[in-house]
């Protein structure tokens, strides 16, 4: 049996959104819709096509954010990583159930002047506004 890696996605890689194919083409499977633990902020990353958010850990925030957890074969993870462009990156994301997985985060320096969208609770609700 192949080893797997769990990945939290909070934007354009979620089900039905423009970059979801980057997961499904690498044999990733949807596991669950959930949310982060409290302590995150979400921003609309400037000048990204397609548009996508940047999530940052901020322990002063009381917000938790909607996301999806996917799993993919570990041997496909490198092919996934080379598609991720700065300022987005992969790091540890803490979930509301107390567990943690790898997931999308954003480099803070890219968010100067970016619109904070934390109050929407997630990318889908921001897009639907």
**Residue 120 vs residue 85, higher pLDDT:** 120
User: Does residue 31 have a pLDDT over 80?
Assistant: yes
The reported pTM is: 0.94
Tell me which residue range forms the domain holding 103.
Answer: 4-122
61-68 average pLDDT score: 98
Mean pLDDT across the chain: 95
pLDDT score for 1: 60
Residue 114 lies in a domain: yes
35-57 average pLDDT score: 94
pLDDT score for 2: 74
Report the CATH number that the domain containing residue 27 is assigned in CATH: 3.10.490.10
31's CB contacts (< 8 A; 6+ apart) are 6, 68, 69, 70, 71
pLDDT score for 70: 98
Residue 128 lies in a domain: no
Residue 129 lies in a domain: no
Number of domains in the chain: 1
96's CB contacts (< 8 A; 6+ apart) are 34, 35, 36, 37, 64
């Amino acid at each position: 049996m192949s080893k797997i890696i769990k990945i939290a996605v909070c934007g354009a890689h979620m089900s039905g959104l423009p970059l979801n194919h980057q997961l499904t083409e690498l044999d990733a499977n949807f596991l669950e819709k959930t949310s982060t633990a409290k302590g995150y902020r979400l921003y609309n990353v400037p000048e990204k096509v397609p548009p996508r958010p940047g999530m940052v850990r901020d322990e002063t925030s009381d917000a938790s954010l909607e996301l999806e957890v996917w799993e993919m074969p570990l041997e496909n993870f490198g092919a996934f990583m080379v598609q991720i462009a700065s300022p987005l990156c992969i790091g540890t994301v803490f979930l509301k159930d107390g567990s943690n997985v790898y997931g999308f985060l954003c480099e803070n320096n890219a968010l100067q002047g970016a619109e904070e969208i934390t109050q929407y609770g997630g990318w889908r609700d921001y897009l639907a506004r």
